[in-house]
Structure 1
Amino acid sequence: MKAKKPFLLVVAFMLVASILAGCMGNNSAEKDTATEQKDEKKSLVVYSNSLSEGRGDWLTEKAAEAGFELELVEAGGGDLLNRIVSEKNNPLADVVFGLNQMNFETLKSNDLLVPFEPVWTAEIPEGSSEKDNYYHPLVEQRIFMIYNKDVYTEETAPKDWTDLIENEEFKGKYHVPGDLGGGTNRSVVYGMLMRHVDKNGELDISEEGWKEIEAFFENGYKTPEGEDANANLASGKVPISFTYSSGLPGIEEEFGFEAGIVSPEVGVPTTVEQVGIINKGKDQDTAAAEEFINWFGSAEVQGAWAEQFGSLPVNTKAVEKATEKMKQIREMTIIQEMDYTFISEHIDDWVEKIELEIF
């Protein structure tokens, strides 16, 4: 018995070593698998002007769960557009989203987009996408007039922007833009001008249209420095103003009042946040970008985005996840039909004329 102990010890040692080797082998295999899975993550550079208030963090986290590794670059709409155009000869972005339809028209005209039709286009209203599939809508911001319900009723409130000009009792009672740098302010202007398109007129707008814009600014209240347009709206000092759809709940909550919504028969302008693939040259592999857009624009993800950030999704299947306020705005307003290619070609000239001659 004593003679057998060394032999048994050797066998035991070999058995333990074998088990340890197996464990180490399994751990190594697991590490290799994890490394492969990490390497399989689809890396994308995504440019956007719609990453504030936690949107960027949310998108990064959710995209990672779906197999994407995102490098997000955030900037304001104008700055982002200029950056993409300036990078034309050496594009850095794979995907851009958040810019409006006019900005995307500029990208398209500069050959900076790759056409692609996402799988979810059947879930958005017909005609919503760019006709050649260079870009597609995600979120819409309807731009509309609002009024203080403590001052006006539905019957006494203006029914259209033209009422502000034609009805003397509204003079000085409505807020007008102090500048035309932002998309919302510009939407108010082009929404009015597009009713007066005239190829023989100045900058393709009739004389009547320019007179209307001039009267609009002349009879309105331009909020001076030190005052807040929304505070004036809530107090009743300037009880008529305008806003974009996802901005209304915050205004009402912050200033503690209820606003009425005006939807003219002709409809309201809408700024639609789009998504597209950046053109990086003939040898470009767009597979990962296409997969990301298919995921991001889906009803599931856009519904979660709407629920989290109070947006109004274009995807009709995602609308059910929107807040009740957004659903109300969607039901109460109709979209004004406009040629956004035409607007994109003219808006800078229109703004320049207004700022030089009317402001």
Structure 2
Amino acid sequence: MKKTWLLIVALVFSLVLTACGGNQDSSEGAAKGKDKSLVIYTNSGSDGRGDWLKEKAAEQGFKIEIVEAGGGDIRNKLIAEKANPIADVVYGLNEMNYIALKNEGVLEAFTPVWADEVEAGTSDPEGYYHSLVKQAILLIYNSDLYTEETAASDWPELWENKAFHGLYEVPTNLGGDTTRTVIAGILVRHQDPNGELGISAEGWEEIEKFFDNGTPATEGTPFYANLANGTTPFGQMFSSGIQQREEEYGVKAGIVSPEIGVPYVIEQVAIVKGTKKKEVAEEFINWFGSADVQAEWAKEFNSMPTNIEAAKSANPEVKALHESVTKQDMDWEFITENIDAWIEKITLEIQ
């Protein structure tokens, strides 16, 4: 009886060890199809993106959990969790966030199989993050109410011309990448090494006028609803978000193309350092960033891939939009060093 009991205990212990073996090297188990679950952080899961990605990834055997928040919030979360990471992969976000994450030691270097297929200079040269999508961060207007001639020609005209006062939406939540990029695009025009936080006094006056003369975003009411009904016929939007919202709200957006250009951001993908699913994360990124998948993503969500082959599949309207604007010169290293302090100053002193 005692021997029988010992045999049962040994058998149970053996089964437990077998089950736990995947935890000891979960990425190896995943690569063999035993566990392909991943936690993915992103700021790019809205408008059906997250659901689409879950479905398509499941077809490849992945089981992904998506955690979505604003780009700056995702970055802060990853840094806070650095000692005990929860996420395995991060995608979306823009350069200033990835530079910060790299500098904080949050990312794991890795070279995807498609790394040489994307536009030169769009990924991290040291391999910590790799480009997926280009986004133009735009000032748009309701084209039923304004024409190219009557609309504001650049952001400053909105507060310099009283005719536009109260007619553009200003953000109340400063955690999102689009908002932070708009603010950075205004402030870097007034870069001054002797100024407060690297910005001249004139620059801070401009950003104060920006907030003072606009209409604060209404909680629970999408910007496009107010764009369509004329409450705030001007405001910010990322390029891939326009076409779907035009169809949803029945309004055609006019695109402002300032002489100085518009901010361009490159959404990236990276592995979180310390993940226990490194091999699965690599497999996922190799799949997600491939030309075929990015071509599907481009068609579905009106994006402009950095993958040269996938970009050929971008929707014609998207190609035309990107051809209609020029890129603003942005010093992302400078912006990364200062963006948090800028946001803090705006939150405490200006908003």
TM range (shorter): 0.7 to 0.9
Cα contact 2:41–2:66 (8 A) shared by 1? yes
The match for 1:76 is 69
- Percent of pairs identical after alignment? 51
The match for 2:96 is 102
- Per mean C-alpha deviation after superposition, the further-off stretch among 152-161 and 229-238 is 229-238
Which structure has the larger Rg? 1
Instruction: Please point out which of 294, 298, 304 is paired with 2:296.
Output: 304
The residue type paired with residue 294 of structure 2 is Q
The match for 2:21 is none
- Per mean C-alpha deviation after superposition, the further-off stretch among 41-50 and 123-132 is 41-50
The residue type paired with residue 268 of structure 1 is V
Cα contact 2:30–2:36 (8 A) shared by 1? no
CA distance in 1, matches of 2:311, 2:198: 37
> Considering only aligned residues, what root-mean-square deviation do their CA atoms show, in Å?
2.8
The residue type paired with residue 300 of structure 1 is D
The match for 1:7 is none
The residue type paired with residue 299 of structure 2 is E
Gaps of 5+ in 1: 1-36
Change in CA separation of 1:350 and 1:298 when aligned onto 2, cut-off 3 Å = same
- The answer to whether 1:43 aligns with 2:14 is no
Change in CA separation of 1:56 and 1:166 when aligned onto 2, cut-off 3 Å = closer
Cα contact 2:288–2:294 (8 A) shared by 1? yes
The match for 1:320 is 312
Gaps of 5+ in 2: 1-28
Change in CA separation of 1:296 and 1:266 when aligned onto 2, cut-off 3 Å = same
- Per mean C-alpha deviation after superposition, the further-off stretch among 70-79 and 110-119 is 70-79
CA distance in 2, matches of 1:53, 1:172: 28
- The answer to whether 1:148 aligns with 2:118 is no
Instruction: Please point out which of 122, 125, 136 is paired with 1:128.
Output: 122
Change in CA separation of 1:80 and 1:157 when aligned onto 2, cut-off 3 Å = closer
TM-score scaled by structure 2?
0.80
Change in CA separation of 1:126 and 1:54 when aligned onto 2, cut-off 3 Å = same
Task: Name the SS for the 2:62 alignment partner.
Answer: strand
Change in CA separation of 1:207 and 1:52 when aligned onto 2, cut-off 3 Å = closer
Change in CA separation of 1:232 and 1:279 when aligned onto 2, cut-off 3 Å = closer
Q: How many residue pairs were aligned?
A: 320
CA distance in 2, matches of 1:95, 1:181: 20
Task: Name the SS for the 2:114 alignment partner.
Answer: helix
CA distance in 1, matches of 2:75, 2:30: 32
CA distance in 2, matches of 1:295, 1:199: 44
Change in CA separation of 1:173 and 1:291 when aligned onto 2, cut-off 3 Å = same
Change in CA separation of 1:180 and 1:258 when aligned onto 2, cut-off 3 Å = same
Task: Name the SS for the 1:125 alignment partner.
Answer: coil
CA distance in 2, matches of 1:261, 1:242: 10
| Offset, 1:195 | 1.2
CA distance in 2, matches of 1:83, 1:101: 17
CA distance in 1, matches of 2:245, 2:220: 18
The match for 1:352 is 344
1:184-233 CA distance string (max 9 Å, x none):
22221111001111111001111111111112222223345686643332
| Offset, 1:181 | 2.7
- Per mean C-alpha deviation after superposition, the further-off stretch among 316-325 and 78-87 is 78-87
Cα contact 2:109–2:271 (8 A) shared by 1? yes
CA distance in 2, matches of 1:235, 1:86: 41
Instruction: Please point out which of 285, 288, 297 is paired with 1:293.
Output: 285
Change in CA separation of 1:69 and 1:255 when aligned onto 2, cut-off 3 Å = closer
Runs of 4+ in 1 over 6 A off after TM superposition: none
